[in-house]
Amino acid sequence: MLDLTLLGCGGGLPMSQRFLSSMMISYRGRKILIDCGEGTQVSMRQFNTGFKSLDIICITHAHGDHIYGLPGLLSTLGNSDRTEPITIIGPKGIKEIMENIVSLVPNLPYELDIIESTDEQMVFRIKNKMLCLEESINEFEENIIISTIDLEHSIDCKGYKFHLTRRPKFLADKAIDSNIPQTLWSKLQSGGTIELNDKVYYPDMLLGDKRLGIKLSYITDTRPTESTVEFIKESDLLVCEGTYGDEEDIEKAKDNKHMTFSEAATLAYKAKVSQLLLTHFSPSIDEPHMYLNNAEEIFKNTIIGFDGFRKTLRYE
């Protein structure tokens, strides 16, 4: 399962009642941070998400309301005796941006593995008690597959999809019927093939069919596009920007490369996602709930995000 906490649902500039863009994903004790706007550290402390087990930071783009919290967070991690490397994923240019940020916090006691995304899938798995990058998908293990897509914003911007795969179900009755010695069950469940006493045992001799995993998509700072619809298709949860709630602000949305509530809801409807969580509200919106109906008329299962919003996504 995946646990998520919306650390900040604001866009543009900090407000007294709203932190800037950031969300934390927790998976088996390890953490992935998406964006790190100003005030993210404060929000992490306020909502008790912790930060010492943070392994991956995903940056959508280099506007200040999404990255200005990085220098402080990296410094705090260093002061907390962090020695394990941290992976940072972002759009083209993120390596140069991180060089500038790290110049503000020199002598970090851990390495940064910086990846400029090329829209290819990246596979991570718990290894040595950390989320580590793997070369390929192992269908017999739980993997987190991170995918990215180019969005339509004023600068290079990435959308993210997190797919938690699920290993096939172990069927004890099937193993017994196949006369598989119990001492071999564990290795076969892990994908191994075993030859014993002139007989070969395969994983599918005791495993069921492939099972659905969990899909979480994160789309912010963009105009809606058809390629985004396909990217987020059938997500269990779509976390999506709703910079403007009022339909009268559609021209502002177009000019500034953002979306209205109704446009985000249309993405969710077309992509057949299970649930929509709106975030990244303009400073001009004091009460996002006032505009909820603009989204619900198109996609009923819509939630208005707020700082500290928590949700757990579980396997069906």
Residues in a beta bridge with 196: 199
Q: In which element (H, E) is residue 251 found?
A: helix 250-256
What sign results for the dihedral spanned by CA atoms 44, 314, 135, 116?
negative
Strand order in the sheet with 112-116: 112-116, 86-90, 54-58, 30-34, 22-27, 2-8, 310-313
Number of CB atoms found within 10 A of residue 147's CB:
18
| CB-based contacts of 203, cutoff 8 Å, min separation 6 | 140, 168, 188, 189, 191, 192, 193
Region of 128 on the Ramachandran plot (φ > 0 left; ψ -120 to 50 alpha; else beta): left
Place of tokens 């959508």: 60
97 within 8 A of 74, measured Cβ to Cβ: no
Q: Which residues are catalytic?
A: 65
Asked if residues 44 and 8 have their Cβ atoms less than 8 Å apart, the reply is no
Cα 170 from chain centroid?
A: 28
